[in-house]
Each structure stands twice: as C-alpha cells, then as structure tokens.
Structure 1
C-alpha cells in the first residue's frame, strides 16, 4: 500500500496549499491601514485626528490645510501642498515625527503613505 500512502500525502499537500492560497487571498482583500493617528493643526488652531488611515490613495486634510502634522502611525507619510498629492515641495515625515510649516509657506493640504 505504499502507492496509496504516497497519494494521500500528495493530496494532503495539495489541499494544504489550496487552503493557504485561499487564506492569503482573503487577507489581501482586507483594507490595510497605517495603524495609529495622523494628527494635524489647521491655521485656525483646530486639532484634527485621522485614526488609522488607509495605506492606499491620497488623503486630503482640512480645506484650509495644516500648519503642523504629527505622524503617530507605524508607516511613514509624505506631505503635499496640493489637495491631490502631486506637485513639488513635498516633505517626508517618518513614523512618530512631526513637521511644522515655515513662516510664509503654504500649508500642507494632503498626504500619502509610504508602503
């Protein structure tokens, strides 16, 4: 009966591989987030917190923008002066670090994550 045992092992390995593939496919469909808050202060000194933003896409800040941004997430972010995460003058903000706009500069208006 060695042939039957060999077939059982092969069938068990194939079933295990299939289950693993299904588990990975199921998890990859979940929305991944940058665990933790991105906190920012507007020009009017209003503090806004975005908790665990998605790692995908462009995230808009308040319409007036932000003068200070603190990245409390586990993923680095890039700040933009435009509402659509494009253009020059970006700033890289590592995890658990803050950035403040300089006097006379435009506010931050959006951010994206680095992943």
Structure 2
C-alpha cells in the first residue's frame, strides 16, 4: 500500500522549488554587475575645481582630471590608493582609508589616478 501526499503539500513543494529556481536565476543575473565603492570620491584639481565621482567601480584604474589633484577625499566604503601616474603604476603612492582625506604638500606631484583596495 502506498501513501500519497495531500495536494496542498505537493503545491507547497512545487512553490518552494519554483522560488528556489527564481532566486538562483536572479543571483546569477546580478553577479555580472560591477561592484561599486558606495559613496563619493571628491578631489580638488590644480585649478581649485572640485570634482566628485559618485560610487565608482571597485575594479580598475580611475584617471583624474588632466592637471591632477592636490586633495582627495574618500567618502566611499572602500579604501583606495592614489598614484602620481595616469595608469595607476609607479612608486609614488598614498593609501587613503575610507572616510579619510589626503592633501599633497605644495611641492609634491599631483595625484593623477586611483585604484580601490579590494
């Protein structure tokens, strides 16, 4: 003699399976989106203009204005490294933790790019 489950239990199992499948598809679909450093990065150029970039991507090298920056404020949720080159390379770097600001000395080279630490 076999026992079959009542129809409500079968519908509940089917609904759970369908929900799990939809959740899996949603997560897989969103995984390709680029992560952002939530919050703004603001910097002051050599001409005293303030540039603000809201929630830049975490990956990659980010170039600043052509004349560079003398002051950088990191109000994102991710730490960053500043570079004096346009391609995030070289030895002259500065580490700026989240919610901190870096101001260059008057004779120092301007910051020209940044990368997030992740």
Tell me the CA shift for residue 18 of structure 1.
3.6
Matched with 2:101 is 98
1:85 has 2:88 as partner? yes
1:29 has 2:32 as partner? yes
**Normalization by structure 1: what TM-score?**
0.82
Instruction: Tell me which structure has the larger Cα radius of gyration.
Output: 2
* Structure 2 Cα separation of the partners of residues 100 and 23 of structure 1: 43
After superposition, the C-alpha distances for 1:24-72 in whole angstroms (9 at most, x for unaligned) are: 2112122321111100011111111111111121110000100000001
Give RMSD over aligned pairs.
2.3
Matched with 1:48 is 51
Partner of 2:102: helix, strand, or coil?
strand
Matched with 1:109 is 112
Matched with 2:76 is 73
Partner of 2:33: helix, strand, or coil?
coil
Matched with 1:61 is 64
Gaps of 5+ in 2: none
Partner of 2:30: helix, strand, or coil?
helix
Partner of 2:23: helix, strand, or coil?
helix
Gaps of 5+ in 1: none
**When the two structures are aligned, how many residues end up with a matched partner?**
115
